[in-house]
Structure 1
Amino acid sequence: MKNQNEIDKYLDEMIEKAERKIDQLFARRMKEIKNQIAAMYDKYSKDGELSYTELNKYNRFRKEMERMAAEIHKDYRELLKMINDLMEKQYVENYLRSAYLYEFEAQVNMGFTIPSAAVISAALENPIPELRLPALLEADRNQVISRIAIEITQGLQAGEGYAKIASRIDGAVHFGRKKARTTARTEAHRVQVEGRLKSAEKASEKADLKKMWDSTLDARTRIGHRKLDGKVVPLNGVFKSLYGGVGKAPGHMHNAKDDINCRCSIIFLVNGQKPEVRRSKIAGKNVVIPFVTYEEWKEQLKKAG
């Protein structure tokens, strides 16, 4: 990693890989729900039609929904672990990889160590209780289950066949998938930026650091964040968005319009420069030389710890 933008690309690819896994999880659930509905039609329909009244006999519908809900609960437990693992990797990787660049730009040992489990745990926990991952996923899970039940009920009451009800389910499950992807990206981005902020706090003990807003400049970037691109503030300064957010970095603006699905990053200027490559002196001259790799540097930290 020669600069902070390369780190950001590496971390974003990690998020994209997690999003693909989320897609696979919901695709599997969609298939199993449709199989369950098909089985309901085979078992309880008359002349190819399944009425809500018939399905509701003997608590059949309630039992089917309970079985469906139990499987969705399992999915969300898996999803919780998946996103937690992603967040931990985002924090640790950005903390250490950024620290590596700061040290070599400033040419001084800054005393970095591998973050402890307690430090990582604290970083992962959203400071707003209702926005913490378990609470978010529980609310999303309950909403998905409710929407599926409503769609099936309305479809049956309208006398719709399997194909139309299956199409209704597509919409409900797609809603859950989209919410899960948004939650994963937003929370991973939040702790990713937190990792860089924490490493910069440590580095500031040995070097002068300022921070710069770094936008992902494409058609998906919100206008307010394009306007912030390149804005430099002191290490402890804040950014102000036209959407009303005020905060220390992207993903930390304390405003949904700024933070949800944000892909912007923060870059630190070390002694006025963006970390690029190690500088050293040979025969009294400043030159750029090959330096210890990130993996070698990280291994040194492990041994020192």
Structure 2
Amino acid sequence: MSNLNKTQEQINRSIGQLVKRAERAIAKRYANTLNEVRAELAKYFEKYEQDGVLTYEEMARYDRLNRFIANLDDLLKKNHRDLKTIIYDVLGESYKDGFYLTAWAVETDTLSRLSYAAIKPETIQRMIDNPLSGLTLSHRLEKHRSEIVWKVQQEVTQGLVKGETYGMMSKRLKETFEGDAAKSMRVVRTEAHRVSEEAKHDSAAHATRNGIIMKKEWNSVGDERVRSSHDHLNGIKIEMDKNFIGKHGSGPAPGQLGHPAEDINCRCFLTYSVDRIEKPDAKELEDIAFEEWKKERLR
């Protein structure tokens, strides 16, 4: 079996490990933020509650409610910054794995040296900022931050108006944070898949520019969750510079067809094959392992 045939499984395994690590970090980050928000809320209950209830009227006095909301906003801003770091880190590693594993597979299968080099940080940043259906990742994360800020403020304000106890309000905040954490985890899974597909495509396109003419094939995951608009793409094989045509958009790879109905939560993937070799020149690359290849070729 050629390395190109095996590399998709390696990439999936690597990306899966990266995503799980990010999900654990996200869950921990949200748990810490929830504890900080609860501690802030407990301070006000301890000072101003009456018979276990903290009323809206009491919190509205002396600008207490506005100060409390400002403190919440600071905590959620920190949460947002930490989440962005977690997500960007895993996406950078996902891109590297997709790009390098594909590069190794092409060079070792074709016994050709194709001028691959270590990926520059600006390349990774540019890739992460690549808009998905018109919105950059940074914009989408900021939108999520605004939504959680608004929802937490609503939960607190409504709890005060209803005269809820600390326990009741704390429970509803926990549910709100858990829902937002799940949303952040979905972002990681979707973006890591998009990024790895983009990396594979960039790597194969580099090979084509350097004399190893590649073709790409669309693959569906093949379960009941596959969207109907991608059924007709399964098994389609085209040249590297061509686009796949969906029902609502077109583009070079899954997650890059330019329409929300095509791209968001897409799990389809590409596999690659060598159409022809224009200049094989490196017999010594035969049977070289991936880690050895990285040390040798990415100096």
* Shared fold (TM-score, shorter chain, > 0.5): yes
Out of 77, 84, 87, the residue aligned to residue 80 of structure 1 is: 84
3-state SS in 1 of match to 2:298: helix
Query: C-alpha offsets along residues 6-46 of structure 1, whole Å, 9 cap, x if unaligned?
Result: 21232232123212211221122122222322332222111
How far 1:99 moved relative to its partner? Answer: 0.5
Out of 77, 97, 115, the residue aligned to residue 111 of structure 1 is: 115
Task: Work out whether residues 22 and 79 of structure 1, in 8 Å CA contact, stay in contact via their aligned partners in 2.
Answer: yes
Distance of aligned partners of 1:153 and 1:118 in 2 relative to their CA distance in 1, 3 Å threshold: closer
Matches within 5 A, 1:210-249: 210-242=215-247, 244-249=248-253
Q: Matches of 1:223 and 1:13 in 2, distance apart?
A: 29
Out of 39, 58, 62, the residue aligned to residue 43 of structure 2 is: 39
Task: Work out whether residues 8 and 265 of structure 1, in 8 Å CA contact, stay in contact via their aligned partners in 2.
Answer: no
How far 1:195 moved relative to its partner? Answer: 1.0
Q: Matches of 2:68 and 2:266 in 1, distance apart?
A: 39
* Letter of the 1:145 counterpart: V
3-state SS in 1 of match to 2:159: helix
* Letter of the 2:84 counterpart: L
Distance of aligned partners of 1:226 and 1:165 in 2 relative to their CA distance in 1, 3 Å threshold: farther
Long gaps (5+) in structure 2: 277-282
Percent identical residues:
29
Q: Normalising by structure 2, what TM-score?
A: 0.87
Task: Work out whether residues 109 and 286 of structure 2, in 8 Å CA contact, stay in contact via their aligned partners in 1.
Answer: no
> 2:202 corresponds to which residue?
198
1:208 aligns with 2:203: no
Out of 245, 262, 268, the residue aligned to residue 266 of structure 2 is: 262
* Letter of the 1:292 counterpart: I
> 2:296 corresponds to which residue?
300
Deviates more, 1:27-36 or 1:66-75: 27-36
Distance of aligned partners of 1:168 and 1:224 in 2 relative to their CA distance in 1, 3 Å threshold: same
Q: Matches of 1:128 and 1:192 in 2, distance apart?
A: 14
Q: Normalising by structure 1, what TM-score?
A: 0.85
Q: Matches of 2:150 and 2:184 in 1, distance apart?
A: 16
How far 1:208 moved relative to its partner? Answer: 2.5
Query: C-alpha offsets along residues 221-262 of structure 1, whole Å, 9 cap, x if unaligned?
Result: 4344455332222212222334x2322111111122222222
* Letter of the 1:186 counterpart: T
Long gaps (5+) in structure 1: 273-279, 281-288
Aligned residues: 289
1:169 aligns with 2:173: yes
Q: Matches of 2:258 and 2:290 in 1, distance apart?
A: 33
Matches within 5 A, 1:134-149: 134-149=138-153
> 1:286 corresponds to which residue?
none
> 1:276 corresponds to which residue?
none
How far 1:219 moved relative to its partner? Answer: 4.4
Distance of aligned partners of 1:85 and 1:144 in 2 relative to their CA distance in 1, 3 Å threshold: same
How far 1:128 moved relative to its partner? Answer: 6.4
Task: Work out whether residues 95 and 199 of structure 1, in 8 Å CA contact, stay in contact via their aligned partners in 2.
Answer: yes
How far 1:118 moved relative to its partner? Answer: 3.1
How far 1:77 moved relative to its partner? Answer: 0.8
Deviates more, 1:10-19 or 1:66-75: 10-19
Query: C-alpha offsets along residues 253-300 of structure 1, whole Å, 9 cap, x if unaligned?
Result: 11222222223221111238xxxxxxx8xxxxxxxx981111110001
How far 1:129 moved relative to its partner? Answer: 10
3-state SS in 2 of match to 1:131: coil
Matches within 5 A, 1:84-99: 84-99=88-103
Q: Matches of 2:189 and 2:169 in 1, distance apart?
A: 31
3-state SS in 2 of match to 1:268: strand
> 1:62 corresponds to which residue?
66
Deviates more, 1:292-301 or 1:226-235: 226-235
Task: Work out whether residues 37 and 75 of structure 2, in 8 Å CA contact, stay in contact via their aligned partners in 1.
Answer: no
Task: Work out whether residues 130 and 136 of structure 1, in 8 Å CA contact, stay in contact via their aligned partners in 2.
Answer: no
Task: Work out whether residues 182 and 260 of structure 1, in 8 Å CA contact, stay in contact via their aligned partners in 2.
Answer: no
* Letter of the 2:143 counterpart: A
Q: Matches of 1:228 and 1:20 in 2, distance apart?
A: 34
Distance of aligned partners of 1:118 and 1:105 in 2 relative to their CA distance in 1, 3 Å threshold: same
How far 1:190 moved relative to its partner? Answer: 2.4
